């Protein structure tokens, strides 16, 4: 190859990644190494209801060309469905955010224990110590309970555990404390973060109202979204003055090839547009 003749490769980013700080399989350091190997320009660490993995990822990326964006993915509830709100650049020191994340984490712990009690009564006991080990002391989720069930041989896969027992309508499902989508948007804004609605295709009707409350972006690029669906979301973003972002929702699961890191084409522009909103995002009142 002659120097100068090849076009510069388009730098890509992946703004939706999970680590062992929640229900991902790779540690933050391993996630950073993988992103470096893939040649990504930037990644965001967006674990469920925790920012615990961010510090390690920042440290692992120090001195490299990879930019690590601190983030979080808050699970919220409406009366009808669960909605996930990503928060980019949140201040991890913010007292209110820390307190809320603590509440959410405590509720996750109690809920996992109650699900295990239900499973036990159904003749499917799993050990609490094992679930905690699988969660490696971080944000405990249903996938950790599901993995313990697979180990016990009660189900053949994590997906099977969700389908038969711990999915939303399953016999061992237990609710937990969740914010509303609006509360999540406000919490992220109050901690200097940029709220972005995750995988919004099925819940796109909520976007106008959330935009009135200060939502900054929406995920238009997401595994499984067809080109026309991405176009629909890009239009919606344009209509409401939102930044179009995206990511793979990588969990490090071998069984989820669609969610492979870097599998979704997210332009570096997405991150640049997001960055441009820093300092300008404000909580708004609907009306």
By the criterion CB under 6 A, which residues form the site for ligand AMP? 23, 48, 75, 141-143, 158-159, 162, 251
Closer residue to ligand AMP, CB minimum distance, 198 or 274: 198
**94 interacts with Zn ion by CB under 5 A:** no
34 vs 251, which CB is nearer to ligand AMP? 251
**Residue 11: CB minimum distance to Zn ion, A:** 26
CB 166 within 8 A of CB 141: no
Question: Among residues 16 and 251, whose Cβ is nearest to ligand AMP?
Answer: 251
Is residue 198 part of the contact set for Fe ion (CB under 5 A)? yes
In the bound complex, what is the minimum distance in angstroms from residue 151's beta carbon to Zn ion? Answer: 19
Short-list 164, 150, 158, CA closest to 253: 158
198, interface contact from Fe ion, ligand AMP, Zn ion, none, CB < 5-8 Å by kind: Fe ion
- Label each residue of 236-279 as H, E or C: HHHHHCCEEEECCCECCCCCCHHHCCCCCCEEHHHHHHHHHCCC
Nearer to ligand AMP (CB atom), residue 27 or residue 237: 27
Min separation Cβ 46 and Zn ion, Å: 10
Helices (H), the chain: 28-38, 54-61, 95-121, 128-134, 142-152, 158-161, 181-190, 207-212, 227-240, 268-276
Alpha-carbon span 199 to 16, nearest angstrom = 10
Site mask, Zn ion, residues 23-62, x = CB under 5 A? x---------------------------------------
Asked if residue 28 lies in contact with residue 84, where contact means CB atoms within 8 angstroms, the answer is: no
Could you tell me which stretch among 7-15, 157-165, 205-213, 244-252 binds Fe ion (CB under 5 A)?
244-252
* Contact call for residue 14 and Zn ion (CB under 5 A): no
Which span sits near Zn ion by CB under 5 A: 3-11, 15-23, 27-35, 275-283?
15-23
1-10, Cβ contacts within 8 angstroms, sequence gap of 24 or more: 9/39, 10/267, 10/268
User: Which is closer to Fe ion, CB of 26 or CB of 198?
Assistant: 198
Q: How far is the CB of 234 from ligand AMP (least distance, A)?
A: 24
Look at the alpha carbons of 161, 165, 170, 175 in this order and tell me if their dihedral is positive or negative.
Answer: negative
d(CA 10, CA 175): 43
- Residues at the contact surface with Zn ion, assessed by CB under 5 A: 23
Residues of this chain that interact with Fe ion (CB under 5 A) are: 73, 84, 198, 249
């Amino acid at each position: 190859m002659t120097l100068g003749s090849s076009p510069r490769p388009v730098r890509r980013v992946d703004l939706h990644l999970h680590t062992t700080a929640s229900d991902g399989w790779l540690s933050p350091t391993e996630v950073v190494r993988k992103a470096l190997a893939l040649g990504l320009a930037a990644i965001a660490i967006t674990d469920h209801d925790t920012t615990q993995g961010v510090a390690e990822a920042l440290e692992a990326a120090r001195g490299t060309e990879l930019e690590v964006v601190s983030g979080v993915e808050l699970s919220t509830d409406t009366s009808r469905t669960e909605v996930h709100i990503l928060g980019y650049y949140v201040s991890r020191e913010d007292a209110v955010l820390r307190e809320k994340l603590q509440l959410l984490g405590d509720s996750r712990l109690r809920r996992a224990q109650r699900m295990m009690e239900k499973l036990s009564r159904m003749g499917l006991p799993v050990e609490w110590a094992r679930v905690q080990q699988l969660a490696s002391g971080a944000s405990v989720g249903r996938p950790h309970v599901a993995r313990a069930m697979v180990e016990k041989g009660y189900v053949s896969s994590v997906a099977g555990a969700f389908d038969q027992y711990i999915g939303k309508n399953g016999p061992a499902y237990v609710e937990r404390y969740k914010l509303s989508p609006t509360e999540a948007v406000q919490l992220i804004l109050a901690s200097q973060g940029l709220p972005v609605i995750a995988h919004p295709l099925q819940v796109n009707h909520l976007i106008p109202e959330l935009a009135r409350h200060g939502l900054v972006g929406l995920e238009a690029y997401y595994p499984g979204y067809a080109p026309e669906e991405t176009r629909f979301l890009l239009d919606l973003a344009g209509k409401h003055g939102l930044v179009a972002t995206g990511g793979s929702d990588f969990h490090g699961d071998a069984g989820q090839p669609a969610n492979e890191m870097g599998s979704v084409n997210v332009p570096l522009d997405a991150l640049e547009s997001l960055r441009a909103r820093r300092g300008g995002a404000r909580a708004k009142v609907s009306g």
